[in-house]
Amino acid sequence: MGAVLTGLGVGLNAVAAPVFKVAPAAKLPEWSKSSAGVEAESEVLKKAITSVAADLARLGATADETSAEIFEALTFLLEDESLFDMAVGHMDEGWGAAAAYGTAVNEFAEMLAGDPAFEERIADLQDLSKRVQASIAGIHVGLDLPSEGAFVIVGDDFSPADTAQFTKAVVGVITIKGGPTSHTAIICRSRSIPAVVSVAGADELENGSVILVDPVGDRVVVGGDLSQATKPLEFANTGAEPLVPVRANIGSLEDAEAAAKTGAVGVGLFRTELLYLNESSQPSVERQGELYASILAAAPEGPITVRTIDAGSDKPVPFLNMPEEENPALGVRGYRLIQDHRSFIEDQLKGLEAARVATGREIWVMAPMIATAQEAAEFAGLARSLGSFKVGVMVETPSIAALLPDLEGIVDFVSVGTNDLSQYLYAADRMNPSLGALLNPWQPGLIRTLERIASQAKAAGIYSSVCGESASDPAFAVLLAGLGFDSVSSSRSQVDAVRSALAAVNESQAQGLAKAVLASKSAEDTKSAAVAALSAL
Ligand code: PEP
Ligand code: MG
């Protein structure tokens, strides 16, 4: 076998094809001060913004639906007045248009830094900044892509504007930077282009040499062919219904529409804060109601579980003006916003009730980052006073995980957010790439906590679900069903794979898998026990 480079795989299919290295974009000039004055520099910036907006409109007109929506969102960001005003502020300090805009975007991006879900927005913003600065400097930042044949393109990372230019000749993608939630990963997943992102050493690959892109193996094999590709776990198509319902996680209208094309039964997590990232003021109840109604109408059939805003820490929402905190993951985030932003949470629930009435959909509402039974009771009372919902809370803190019996008669359901529950159980910052091993959902400490949650919820007559990323792994979803959870909610691209796994097992097989996993004492052993149980089916 040739040299093997490792990274993070995107998708389940492999491809072998020659490398096409994409040249890095032209270098932008250094930032400098200007003596032309604020008025002249603002004119320069305005002209550049108009020209980039025209470019985006042109790209959007010929792009597919997903990319066209991305261009629309980019144009929205580009025309943001507060961003322009921030740039003018820097012109006041004597900076030229490019420097002023670049600095304003960096400041804006800093406010969004943290959560992987928001990293995408940061990439959008930085891409815009580059385009605007290039326009000011009169240089071109386009991509040189193959138009004929079949190639694996290799580059640093690809912006939304770059991925929109991918031709049919792009059959695989490798990036040196990026991550599992980068635009490159999202677009490749949505277009089923095999990709491996975050591949250190990919810049050493040679143009024209054949490589195997092996996403399931999280690797790239130089000189490899398809016979060496790692096979995903396969499940016989029994035509049976999954052992427990598989819902979808969504954060936008586009997600809702895409989820409706899968076998998802309703939505298990609607992350509402994603709608508010670009709002500079609190949207009215009416506006929220309309927005929710369009998303509810598009979502897959079944109950729709809506989470009230989960801002704070790694999820900043500009109009809430939240102060900086020493230790934000342990600070005022999630439901704790009720302290200073009660009216926003109430408005959300009112908007949701209006959307429920308008669409006739069944809505379950839940609050994030609940730590005490009193908070759960307060939220349940508030939600029930404002609408006809099933009411629940997320289980993301170790304290509420220990208090399930106390929630009897208070909530209808709980949904476990394993991303945060891992972070708080293991005292391991979920944004710290060095702590990935502790955040692995196959860690026995998390799994045994999940077992207790499922059994105590059942004993208390509370419906239980899991909506963290762990539920997007088909083998883990079988474990969750075996532990006794009533449903799982997966990232929309994983819904059908999770459904197949859950349709291939019966209750006693899932319970047998859970028993073997619970008897294992390391993250490696729990996963091997699950894979062994599934392979023996
Ligand atoms: C979680 O914490 O698992 C979760 C689903 O919420 P988020 O990832 O949005 O914090
Ligand atoms: Mg969470």
pLDDT for res 181: 46
Burial profile 16-46: b = 16 or more Cβ within 10 angstroms, e = fewer: bbbbbbbeebeebeeeeebeeebeebbebbe
What pairing do the DSSP bridges indicate for beta strands 463-466 and 413-416? parallel
Where in the sequence numbering do the catalytic residues fall? 183, 467
Question: Given the CA of residue 368, which atom of ligand 1 is nearest to it?
Answer: 6
Tokens 């499940």, located at residue: 235
pLDDT along the chain (537 residues), means of 10: 83 91 77 90 92 81 70 81 91 93 85 63 77 85 80 86 82 81 64 84 93 92 96 82 96 91 97 78 91 97 97 73 85 92 95 98 98 98 98 98 98 95 90 69 96 98 94 93 97 90 96 98 93 90
Nearest CA to ligand 1 atom 10: 420
Nearest CA to ligand 1 atom 6: 417
pLDDT for res 68: 75
- The CB-side HSE value for 495 (13 A sphere, CA atoms) comes to 26
**Cα–Cα distance measured from residue 306 to residue 270, given in angstroms and rounded to the nearest whole number:** 5
**Cα–Cα distance measured from residue 503 to residue 231, given in angstroms and rounded to the nearest whole number:** 19
Beta-bridge partners for 306: 270, 365
Give pTM, 2 decimals: 0.69
pLDDT for res 371: 98
Nearest CA to ligand 1 atom 9: 271
CA dihedral 293, 297, 300, 301 (to 10 degrees): 110
Question: Given the CA of residue 470, which atom of ligand 1 is nearest to it?
Answer: 3
> Ligand 1 pocket: which residues have CB below 6 Å?
269, 271, 310, 396, 417-420, 467-468
Three-state SS across 187-224? HHHHHCCCEEECCCCHHHCCCCCEEEEECCCCEEEECC
**Separation of 470 CA from ligand 1 center, angstroms?**
10
pLDDT for res 148: 86
Question: Given the CA of residue 469, which atom of ligand 1 is nearest to it?
Answer: 3
- The CB-side HSE value for 329 (13 A sphere, CA atoms) comes to 17
Tokens 């105590």, located at residue: 456
3-state secondary structure of 275: helix
**Cα–Cα distance measured from residue 213 to residue 229, given in angstroms and rounded to the nearest whole number:** 8
In angstroms, what CA-CA distances link 11 with 64, 156, 237, 359?
19, 19, 20, 34
Question: Given the CA of residue 273, which atom of ligand 1 is nearest to it?
Answer: 9
Q: Tell me the helix, strand and coil percentages in the chain, rounded to 5.
A: 50, 15, 35
**Separation of 469 CA from ligand 2 center, angstroms?**
10
Chain-centre distance for alpha carbon 517: 28
What residue type is assigned to position 93 of the chain? E
**Separation of 24 CA from ligand 1 center, angstroms?**
35
Structure token digits, residue 217: 């193996």
Would you say 177 and 154 are in contact if contact means Cβ atoms under 8 Å apart?
no
From 270, 310, 446, the mutation candidate for ligand 1 (largest count of ligand atoms within 8 A of CB) is: 310
Tokens 């790692």, located at residue: 230
**Separation of 373 CA from ligand 2 center, angstroms?**
18
**Cα–Cα distance measured from residue 421 to residue 373, given in angstroms and rounded to the nearest whole number:** 17
CA dihedral 383, 387, 393, 394 (to 10 degrees): -120
From 120, 272, 394, 426, the mutation candidate for ligand 1 (largest count of ligand atoms within 8 A of CB) is: 394
From 249, 271, 276, 490, the mutation candidate for ligand 1 (largest count of ligand atoms within 8 A of CB) is: 271
Nearest CA to ligand 1 atom 3: 417
**Separation of 392 CA from ligand 1 center, angstroms?**
15
**Separation of 430 CA from ligand 1 center, angstroms?**
10
Query: Relative to the alpha carbon of 471, which ligand is closest?
Result: 1
